[in-house]
Structures are given as C-alpha cells and as structure tokens.
Chains A and B, each alone.
Chain A
C-alpha cells in the first residue's frame, strides 16, 4: 500500500519575512525524496513544517494524519527526525541516548536488544557504554541515527501497518565517505522496506545515487521537482545555486555526476 506525505500551498513566515512561499508537493512511501538548494533556500524550514515543529499556512498530510492537528506523540509514532547535529546538555551514555528514541514502553530486555540492534546498523555497537560527549561529531551523528531507528522500531506496532517516515536534515554532512554511504544505505533500506525518507542533501552526487525524487528549492519556492535525471541537470542546478554547474554521467550506471565550475575557469 502506498502512503503519501503531501503538502499543499505551504507558506511559512517569520516576522515579516516569508521563508517558504506556496510550496506544494507529494512524497511517496517506499522512495527516497531529497531536497536540494542553496543555503537559505528554505530546506530546513520545509522540513520543520513537515515534521510539525513550526507553524505554517497550508496543509501537510502524513498519510491520513493532518500534521498541524496531531499531538507530538502521535507524530513521533509515525516519523523520526534526525537533526543536523545534537549536543546534550548533560552527559549520557550512548545507550541512554538511543533509549531516548524508545517512546513506547516495553520489557526492558526487549528494548535493550532493539537498542543494540539499532547501534549495530550504524556500526556503533562497540560504543554502547561510552559517553556521548566523548565521541566525534560523526560518531555522534551515527548514534543519533540509531536513536531515530530505535524510535521507528519501537513505534512499529501490530495494529498500525502504516509506513513510517524518516526525516533527515543533512544526515551525512559530518561523516566520512564510508559512513556517508553507510547512512545513505540505511535510508535506502528503510525505503525499500516500505518506509518513506525525506532528506535534505548538500552532496549532489550522493543525491544522484540515492534519491528517487528530488525537490529543488530556491528563495523559498519550489523551482523544480522530479526524478534525478530531470532535476540533477545542468540548467536546473545552475539556476538553483546561481552558479554554473556541469553535469556528466558516470560510465557504468549512467548516474549523473556533478561538477561545480570554479569561478576562474
């Protein structure tokens, strides 16, 4: 069964400043949707509106749920959010951080097993008793990913067959190449299993590799949307970033390959 994240005529203003202007779109479960655009294009604001974190004009629906009318806990049962980076006010162990994602009570042994499983997926199981504060930025990001996975795992209940959604805000910006691929693989896998993934991306090449649908934002408006071949394309990207961009294709799979032109070239 397909499940839709749909938003219509979405506008967000902060003070007199309009950050998102009349944005509409649909994302399907089972696919990875990437949002790209220059700094200040409104990507994070769009994610905040879709997750219900900030007030907006227009409508956002997550399946049958009207996001604006949902309680935080109902939303949390249907979607997880990975922030760009998360610092803790007080020291917690890695296990305790992952535990923060487990919002449905269950037998502690079951919960513990799930936490370890989630950490294993991000390759952090050996860090389970370590202090979160002592980890590097990339390691912290992977622990947070495990926390979101744990949230999606505990949120799964037999009476609710609806797919879950992952919202990722620049999930790989602080990661090395191997872990970038690892996190994107997890996102891909999540979508393959029927979940929805909505990710803000800066790395256009990773976007080209992993996204099924790409939304291109500029100045708070949606200037293009569609498949990778429709959007990761020289004209669209050059306009989106106000900078000439060259797009080639890598030989084996013909995935687009983006090369921004240096200004002196």
Chain B
C-alpha cells in the first residue's frame, strides 16, 4: 500500500533520524534482560545450595557415591540432596509459577493488582489445608490414613481447584465468562471459605492453631522430592501452556472486543489462562503454603524495566520470581539459624517496602 499523505509528514521528518535504533533497542533490552535473569537464576541456585547453617566442604562431594562413607559425608549428602536441592528446585517452581500466574491474571483482569489469589485458589487451598490440619486426625482420619503426610498438600490443591471451578461456573453465563462477575463472586466465595476456615479455627487446639498460622505464612521447609514430583508436571505443564497465550494476552490489553477483532478467541484464552493459573497456583500453594507478594511485585517490576509485552514479560517473570523466592528461602533458613523464619514473612517484609518505593518513585497512577 502506498498512500502518500504528504502534507502531514513533512514537518516531522526531522524527528525521524535514528528511528530504527531505539525501535530495536526495546526488543534487544528485553532479550538481554532475559539472558541476565537466566544467569542470575543459575547463580542464585548455586549460592543457595552452598549456603546454610551447615558448612559443607563442597569439594568432598565431587565424587558421586563418595567412598568415604563417614557419618559426616553422609550427613552432608543428605543436607545437600534432601534438604537444600529440593528447596531450591521447589523454590524455583513455586516462585516462577506465582510470578507468571500473577502476570497472566493481571492481563486477564486488565488490572496490575490482580494476584493469583483472585481466582479463589488461595482461599480454597487455605480451607482445604485447614480442614486437614484441624480434622485430619479425627473426622477426616480415613483420608489421612491413605495420604499420610501429604494429606494437607493434597487437600490444599483439591480445595484450591474446587473453589476456582465453582467461581468459574458462577462467572460464566451462556459460554461467556464475565471478568467483573468473577471478581465479585471471588469476594463472596472468599468470605464463605474464610467463614468455614474460621469455624475450623474455633474447634482447633493450641498446636493446630500454630500449624495453621505457619501454613498461612508459607514455607518451603517441607520440600521433598516426592512433592517436587507431584507439583512439577502441573506447574511446568501449565506454565509452558501459558507461554502460548502471549499474543492473546497482549491483544487483551486493548479490551476484549479489540482482542476479538485481531483474531483472538477470547473465551478460549480465558479458559486456558484460568485453568493453568489454578493448576499452577494450586500446586504451589499446596506445597508451600501462602506466599504473598511475588505474584504482584515481580510482573510490576518487570513492566517498569522491560515493558508490558507478554512475549518477554512471562519468561522474565518466571525467571525473576524463581530467583527471588530461592533468595528469600535461603534467607529464611539462615537468618535465625538453627531455627527458621516462614518465607512469607521475608517476602512481605522485603516486598512491601520495595513495592511502595516503586509506587512513590514513579509518577502517575499505578506507577506507570
């Protein structure tokens, strides 16, 4: 198409020079940021593995199945492979899942303050977990007998997914999901599950209350290979799936109608996004309890640095979320050693002031 609109272009031609360079630089910057974040994640993983209350002479582990089967070598091996490594892997999975889920939901709800909890996962998972913490040895004992120590995480996962499903059914009429209804129904369902959890708190004993409290603050302390094996396919699968939604999420920034006009199946986008986020967040919350702030702070921070384009935002969020959670977890297991601080406290204590600083530093609404 060659349509000359000569009268309007002439006076702006002086601004044209060097146009292609800044144009490329945004893409280049985003790609560079992703590379940098990948390197940062690798360094964080190694640092976290090498850090802890126990000083491990890492060179001793160079040889696999170390011949010197001393008690110390065995202890170090357990610390490294059964405590630190599962925590690093789980931290990466959970941190990545929470940050990506946050970014996806913010796109879906067109609101930078949406977090994974908005689709009811956290509330439902909290109720599921509370049921087994409080009633696991009495009313629900038969189920506990089958699930063993995984009763609480399984219950949290099922509770999270069930709540999201219910919310989704309420928000969908005639095959169309109303985001506004979803938001309002989420508040109502949150109140309901909150009431049910309150009821459980009422019958809980002192120790169960402490457990509930610790669960709510979140922790990677229970990381094990079994949990990773259960959570990784769910988290990995859904996070890979949402990477294919980037074009749709980008288009959705203009609103649902405009997204439809550029060829997006909006309803399908909503379905996939909600299912993936519910599965990934459900699995994350189940294995680590309630960890706040990662889902909001990470995407927000990245939008300010590399821009809102989902093609870069999603992978970058995953990488940064993973690094930050591993970092927070390393702090949580070393700062009051030999005891441990719940990770939720660390993410909130560092995340909240940082978030405020971003908001105050930038002018304009929402810090943009």
B263 interface neighbour in A73, A90, A123, A189, Cβ under 8 Å: A73
Instruction: Specify the chain A residue showing the minimal Cβ separation from B255.
Output: A86
Instruction: Specify the chain A residue showing the minimal Cβ separation from B25.
Output: A129
The answer to whether A90 and B253 touch across the interface, beta carbons within 8 angstroms, is: yes
How many Å lie between the Cα of A126 and that of B111 in the bound state? 30
How many Å lie between the Cα of A186 and that of B5 in the bound state? 8
Instruction: Specify the chain B residue showing the minimal Cβ separation from A123.
Output: B8
The answer to whether B5 and A72 touch across the interface, beta carbons within 8 angstroms, is: no
How many Å lie between the Cα of A149 and that of B5 in the bound state? 14
Q: Chain A contacts of B110 at CB under 8 A?
A: 89
Interface size class of B (residues with CB under 8 A): 35 or more
Stretch at the interface among B301-309, B336-344, B351-359: B301-309
Instruction: Specify the chain A residue showing the minimal Cβ separation from B250.
Output: A100
Fill in one digit per residue for B5-27: 1 if any A CB lies within 8 Å of its CB, else 0.
10111001001100110110011
How many Å lie between the Cα of A122 and that of B4 in the bound state? 10
Which chain A residues in 119-137 approach chain B with CB under 8 Å?
A: 120-123, 125-126, 128-129, 133
Instruction: Specify the chain A residue showing the minimal Cβ separation from B19.
Output: A128
A92 interface neighbour in B15, B261, B266, B308, Cβ under 8 Å: B308
Which chain B residues in 61-85 approach chain A with CB under 8 Å?
A: none
How many Å lie between the Cα of A51 and that of B303 in the bound state? 32
Q: Is A80 an interface residue (CB 8 A)?
A: yes
How many Å lie between the Cα of A179 and that of B307 in the bound state? 29
Q: Is A101 an interface residue (CB 8 A)?
A: yes
How many Å lie between the Cα of A189 and that of B5 in the bound state? 10
Which chain A residues in 80-114 approach chain B with CB under 8 Å?
A: 80-81, 83, 86-93, 95-97, 100-101, 103, 108, 112
Q: Chain A contacts of B20 at CB under 8 A?
A: 112
The answer to whether A88 and B254 touch across the interface, beta carbons within 8 angstroms, is: yes
How many Å lie between the Cα of A89 and that of B19 in the bound state? 26
Most buried by B among A72, A73, A75, A120: A72
Q: Is B241 an interface residue (CB 8 A)?
A: no
Q: Is B258 an interface residue (CB 8 A)?
A: yes
Contacts known (A72-B265, A73-B263, A76-B261); A96 close to B309, Cβ less than 8 A: yes
Fill in one digit per residue for B106-117: 1 if any A CB lies within 8 Å of its CB, else 0.
110011100000
Q: Chain A contacts of B106 at CB under 8 A?
A: 90
Q: Chain A contacts of B149 at CB under 8 A?
A: none
Which chain B residues in 249-293 approach chain A with CB under 8 Å?
A: 250-255, 257-258, 260-266
Q: Chain B contacts of A186 at CB under 8 A?
A: 3, 5
Contacts known (A86-B255, A89-B110, A90-B253); A129 close to B261, Cβ less than 8 A: no
Q: Chain A contacts of B264 at CB under 8 A?
A: 72
Contacts known (A72-B264, A101-B262, A112-B23); A92 close to B257, Cβ less than 8 A: no
Contacts known (A96-B307, A117-B1); A125 close to B261, Cβ less than 8 A: no
Contacts known (A88-B254, A91-B303, A100-B251); A72 close to B260, Cβ less than 8 A: yes
How many Å lie between the Cα of A75 and that of B258 in the bound state? 13
Fill in one digit per residue for B307-328: 1 if any A CB lies within 8 Å of its CB, else 0.
1110000000000000000000
Contacts known (A73-B263, A77-B263, A89-B111); A83 close to B1, Cβ less than 8 A: no
Distance (whole angstroms) from the CB of B115 to the closest CB of chain A: 15
Q: Chain A contacts of B112 at CB under 8 A?
A: 89-90
A83 interface neighbour in B22, B258, B266, B303, Cβ under 8 Å: B258
How many Å lie between the Cα of A102 and that of B264 in the bound state? 12
Q: Chain B contacts of A120 at CB under 8 A?
A: 5, 9
The answer to whether A71 and B3 touch across the interface, beta carbons within 8 angstroms, is: no
A-B pairs with beta carbons under 8 Å apart, 26 shown: A48-B257, A52-B260, A53-B257, A72-B265, A74-B263, A76-B262, A81-B258, A83-B258, A83-B261, A89-B110, A89-B112, A90-B106, A90-B308, A92-B307, A92-B308, A100-B250, A100-B251, A103-B263, A108-B27, A116-B19, A117-B1, A121-B5, A125-B16, A126-B19, A129-B23, A182-B5
Q: A89-B112, A90-B253 are known contacts; what are 14 more A-B pairs with Cβ within 8 Å?
A: A53-B260, A72-B263, A72-B265, A80-B261, A89-B111, A90-B303, A96-B26, A100-B254, A103-B262, A123-B9, A128-B23, A129-B22, A153-B1, A186-B5
The residues of A with any CB-CB pair to B shorter than 8 Å are 48, 51-53, 71-77, 80-81, 83, 86-93, 95-97, 100-101, 103, 108, 112, 116-117, 120-123, 125-126, 128-129, 133, 149, 151, 153, 178-179, 182, 185-186, 189, 193
Which 10 A-B residue pairs are closest in the complex by CB-CB distance? A76-B263, A89-B110, A123-B8, A90-B308, A126-B15, A73-B263, A81-B261, A126-B12, A189-B3, A129-B22
The residues of B with any CB-CB pair to A shorter than 8 Å are 1, 3, 5, 7-9, 12, 15-16, 19-20, 22-23, 26-27, 106-107, 110-112, 247, 250-255, 257-258, 260-266, 303, 307-309, 368
